[in-house]
Structure 1
Amino acid sequence: MQRSVAVVGAGAAGAAAAYALREHPADVTVFEKSGGVCGRAATRRRNGCVYEYGANYLTADDDRVAELVTAELPSEGLTEIDEPVWTFDADREIREGRDEQTTRWTYEQGITQLAKRLFAAGDATVHRHTRVESLERSGAGWRVTDAEGGTYDSFDAVLLTPPGPQTADLLGQSEWEHADRRRLRQAAASVPYRTVVAGLLHYEFELDRPYYGLVSEAGDHDVGWIGREECKAGHVPDGETLLVVQMAPDWSVTHYRDDAATLTDAIADATATLLDDDRLAEPDWTDHQHWRYALPDDGVGADALETAAAHDLFLAGDWVAGEARLHAALRNGLRTGERIGEHL
């Protein structure tokens, strides 16, 4: 018997779950509020550049995810970042930093290729620009209603992958009168998040540095991370520099509502000061992104997951795993998809 599953969110976890469900007789429908896929593992293109302004790369820290990327999905355009990640402290002292041997991957076409390839390998129907407004539980299963009033039913199971607070809001708006709804909503809402504002700074010259990325050693600087997109094959034309600068959470919260020019000027000034290069205060073009729910600092307890599953409801994402890493979202999505298949 063909069963049906609704997946809310086309991020890494949702895409991985849909991929895992291809092994089961399940009709999978994915609802994504934006026009793109892969969530916070996001890619943009501008002036001949490809850049990742959320998750910067995928690490080989999980064997299942490494097998997925290198052996199961098409590997065309998969590229490693060879340069190391160094650290800096509150006094702007830069050091040869993390002694990490892990592999860092992205794609020449951008990190969103992960979700695109996962969906292509499966047989899910993806509705983009479709914001799920509420869920309704009935004897026939789950009904999904979008922000335009469109309804989709009935699903044997629902998987929720938006960040914890957004999942909690969706549960709060759902027509599901059960004591467990409140407990699940509280569990999702209680996951703490760090907010991050990212600035993209482009220059018509090449920056000669021995590292790909810089990370704040103790998180006590206004800048949290700087990545050089030109270290990724196919991302930046020769002779140019594109820096992805992710500001620290406290700074990001304080400046979250600054206008674009004020925001990017401040980020460029902080970058120039940290790298001791006055040229970096004057990028020739900029971009920015606000991530209100960027990095979860905790996860969801197993009891909440079991409670949800008893109602044919499932949760997935880095916020469920409790680890703010792209490989954790993928791994959790794969496991949750397999669990849904077994459940059905």
Structure 2
Amino acid sequence: MIALLFLITNCCLVPKHKVSARFSEYQIETTVDSELAKYYLESFNQSKINHPEFDKVIRGISAEFNDQKPNRDILKQISDKTSIDFAALYFARQMLNDKSNLILQKQFLLNLEYVKNQKIQYNDSKLLILLVPGFDYVENGKVTGADFAKPKELLSQTGIQVQLVGIDPIGSVEENAAFISKTISSFPNRNILIAGASSAGPAIHLALGESLTLDQTKQVKAWLNLGGVLQGVPVLDQFSIGIKGFLFKTIVWFKDWRIKSFQSMQTAVSRERFNRIKLPGHIYTLNYIGMSLSGDISRFAYDKYCLMREDGPNDGLSLLPDLVAPNSHTILAPKSDHFFAEDPEIDIKTLALLKTILDHLGY
């Protein structure tokens, strides 16, 4: 998302422990950052209890935190007691302990196999998919996938009308929310499914929960939140002051960006906005979030991931719990981080996500 910025960052050395294990519906083949995380995946999670010291730590974590929602503060505490990857796995397990999320995960995988083998087709002329692209999608969208070019092409082949919402590629959350609201209002007689990734997430949230009236949102049936940075980008906080802040502002000036766009995604303003907004209850909201284990972090995410490791498990741009919309359901994406375009199956998975949502809505 913030290309040249991280020329001035540092890297990190993460321990690598090979793991091969089944986690829920997925086979995990990667590396993790601790023996405890490896044991949790390969043994404890498989009910193979054979390491008294590790068993005590895991049971202690469960006893202390299991009855609490795994927010960023709790995951930071767990990370400090264990490791980043263990905390990420704890978060993933808590998400899947919600029966509705587990059912959705299974349904998504069934739909993934379905769309791989046959074409899906819908004939409802009232249905409209609005795709909201990510930051700087005009210049870098082909590299990052922020322009939604391929998903738009595939979704259009289903018979549903698909439209890219032409937000300002370097606009602030507030500016883009206003444009999204105007776009939604221009289709008063359509049933809308809106989808957006990364920086589009908080703009969609603001549009649906505050910029539009409740009556204006009635036509919006669902929101697909693809790694939306709903509660901010912690690395932007780090690059807002001191020498890093000076260098960042120089890059912003050189790129002809606007500093207020980045300020609108800093954590303080983002978290205040998130806590203030009340999303209409009739909108079905589905999150798609990378599990973001250290061995699966992509080339685009790694530098930002390193900067945020001290804050807890993250996807290379935001902390994992901060990607979850209120009153929503979640599908996890193993082997992925924030940059879903790195997944060779992401285009076909977009179709599967669409089918999962439309199945739920009864189409």
TM-score grouping bracket, smaller chain normalisation: 0.3 to 0.5
Relative to its length, the structure with more strand (as a share) is 1
Task: Give the TM-score, by structure 2 length.
Answer: 0.31
Relative to its length, the structure with more helix (as a share) is 2
Task: Give the TM-score, by structure 1 length.
Answer: 0.32
